[in-house]
Amino acid sequence: MSRTDRSKRLIGLLLAVVLVIPVTVRGAEHQAPVTGDWLVRHIGAEPATLNPVTATDVYESTINGYIYESLLERDNRTLDLVPLLADSYEVSPDRLSYLFTLRDGVKWQDGKSLTSADVVFTFRKVKDESVDAPHLRSYYRSLQEVVALDARRVRFTFSEPYFKSLEMIGGMSIIPQHIFSKGDFNTHPAGRAPVGSGPYRFVRWETGKEIVLERNDQYWGEIPYLDRIVFKIITDETVALQVLKRGEMDLMALTPVQWVKQTESRKFKRTFNKHKYYLPGYSFIGWNSRRSVFSDPKVRRAMTMLLDRESILKNLRYGFGRVVSGNFFYESPDYDRTIEPWPYDPAQAVQLLDKAGWVDSDGDGVRDKNGVPFRFEFTMTSGSQFADQVSTILKEELSKVGIEMSIRPLEWALFTRMLDDRNFDAVIMGWSLPVEADPYQVWHSSQTGKGSNFVGFSNREADLIIEEARVTFEKEKRIQLYRRFHRIMHDQQPYTFLFMNESLVAVDRRFENVNVYPLGFDTSEWWVPASDQRYK
């Protein structure tokens, strides 16, 4: 993760936080860093856009993090918010007003100056209901006004305090007004050819193949060492590993089986270092509560109890992770460890299904209710071996109790469109979490239409907890609210919460100064000795 990647991810659900002590993999204390060489890294799907306001997934945010910047970023080691595009900021005692002064001399990659007008434009677009950014807009509900006092000063005014206001202002990527103000914002050409203020500039996007960035030698800050960052788009995990082993990529996330069985040879270890650490996030199966088969919490709980998660973790993920019971990061104080995950218990699951009225009334082997058979479609992203394995296991377990499930793999762009349209029965995917969680975007009932609450979860008590927590600055009180929220999630089971997954990553050994910080890798520090450089 680059410096600007970290700053962009302050705002959303795609922030990867690594809870490990910083470790230097290769020491370079006896050599002076030099420029040159490329970093070729893997992404598992084609991004939909590189417009940071409308972008929604991890692939988009990873790439945009090299190109765009925000007012603040989090310090590598302390996680404190520190100035980036901002030179300084002031917060009013009532936490309703924030005054930012921009750094002098910052320029966009086309040479034009970045001013307070760009900041105002960015946040007005975020607030604009016609802009396709409901996932983002939910964090700025109480932002009343953004005013440029002069070319370098911007004042933000809120209608009510929000414990994440500073983070949300500081973490939003700033976009150039002179480019995005012309044409349809949602389909703007800059979504395919971005112009930012960051340390790397966009070069080209070859659909289905790669996205290429090059170092911005006119960058206002500390110029990175690597000449280029190349993102190889490979949707199949097996093919991606083959490409890595051929030396055509330098950085790739590994699956558990790849880590344990396919990357332990002496040859691989001579070329790559392997890193293992936890990210704040979780995988899950989402049940669309709008569908009659999943509208009852008893049914959703039964579905969870029909899946042997501990066995899957052991046999498919080789123990790399932990079964979780709720939506907060396991290592966070918001997560209530007294709540145990629902056990694998097919007998109790059958009782719950019977109690919910789903029985085989006509003797055809399929449960039904009010004349509706219990059949549904399970949608997953194509190329994911893990999703394919889990769906196969679940299908077999459900068939034993009279439930018919079909499996539908989709490529990423179609998958996300299906989520946006709410046109699915059940899905398997995952969320990454920010440093400080706010469940509003994913779980508040107001987000069932266009936000990230695509499973249609609606609970009055949960809404009230979310709303109260947003204006609670006392951390201990907010923890207690979130633990009550955790209990509601556990009881209602809008998701079958799967695992806190351990990240498994391979990095080519030629890179020096590869550190793992609490916010992941900072590739702006990486460099390659001249004698080891592969690309000229």
User: Does residue 26 sit in helix, strand or coil?
Assistant: coil
User: Nearest Cα to 436, choosing from 216, 167, 205?
Assistant: 167
| pLDDT at residue 295 is higher than 80 | yes
CA distance 180 to 171: 19
**CA within 13 Å, CB half, 45:** 20
Give the start-to-end residue ranges of the domains of the chain.
47-188, 281-501
Provide mean pLDDT across the span 59-70: 95
Question: What's the pTM value of the predicted model, to 2 decimals?
Answer: 0.84
CA distance 222 to 69: 13
Q: For 29-54, give the secondary structure using H, E and C.
A: CCCCCCCCCEEEEEECCCCCCCCCCC
Q: Please tell me what DSSP assigns to residue 512.
A: B
CA distance 169 to 105: 21
Torsion angle of the four alpha carbons 48, 50, 55, 61, in this order, in degrees rounded to the nearest 10? 110
| pLDDT at residue 101 is higher than 90 | yes
pLDDT in tens, 222-251: 999 999 999 999 999 999 999 999 999 999
User: Nearest Cα to 226, choosing from 532, 523, 521, 515?
Assistant: 523
The answer for residues whose C-beta is within 8 angstroms of residue 476's C-beta and 6 or more apart is none
> Which pLDDT score, from 0 to 100, does residue 390 have?
97
* Exposed/middle/buried for residue 533 (C-beta within 10 Å: 0-12, 13-18, 19+): middle
- 415 confidence band (pLDDT: 50, 70, 90): very high
> Which pLDDT score, from 0 to 100, does residue 29 have?
52
| pLDDT at residue 1 is higher than 80 | no
**CA within 13 Å, CB half, 235:** 15
> Which pLDDT score, from 0 to 100, does residue 4 have?
37
Structure tokens at 507: 């990095």
Q: Which residues on adjacent β-strands are paired with residue 408?
A: 379
Q: Amino acid identity of 412?
A: W
> Which pLDDT score, from 0 to 100, does residue 30 have?
63
Are 379 and 339 a contacting pair, CB within 8 Å? Answer: no
pLDDT in tens, 308-367: 999 999 999 999 999 999 999 998 899 999 999 999 999 999 999 999 999 999 999 999
CB atoms within 10 A of CB 370: 8
Question: How far is residue 233 CA from its own chain's centroid?
Answer: 18
CA distance 97 to 87: 17
| pLDDT at residue 17 is higher than 80 | no
Instruction: Give the Cα-Cα-Cα angle 196, 54, 161 (nearest 5 degrees).
Output: 95
Phi, psi dihedral angles at 135 (to 5 degrees):
-60, -35
- 13 confidence band (pLDDT: 50, 70, 90): very low
User: Does residue 463 sit in helix, strand or coil?
Assistant: helix
Q: Are strands 210-215 and 426-432 parallel, antiparallel or unpaired?
A: unpaired
Does the domain made of 47-188 have the CATH classification 3.40.50.300? no
**What is the full DSSP assignment across 178-208?**
HHHTSS-STT-GGGTS---SSSEEEEEEETT
> Which pLDDT score, from 0 to 100, does residue 31 have?
83
Structure tokens at 407: 């499996």
| pLDDT at residue 9 is higher than 70 | no
Phi, psi dihedral angles at 186 (to 5 degrees):
-70, -25
Instruction: Please tell me if the domain spanning 47-188 has the same topology as the one spanning 281-501.
Output: no
CA distance 317 to 320: 6
CATH assignment of 281-501?
Answer: 3.10.105.10
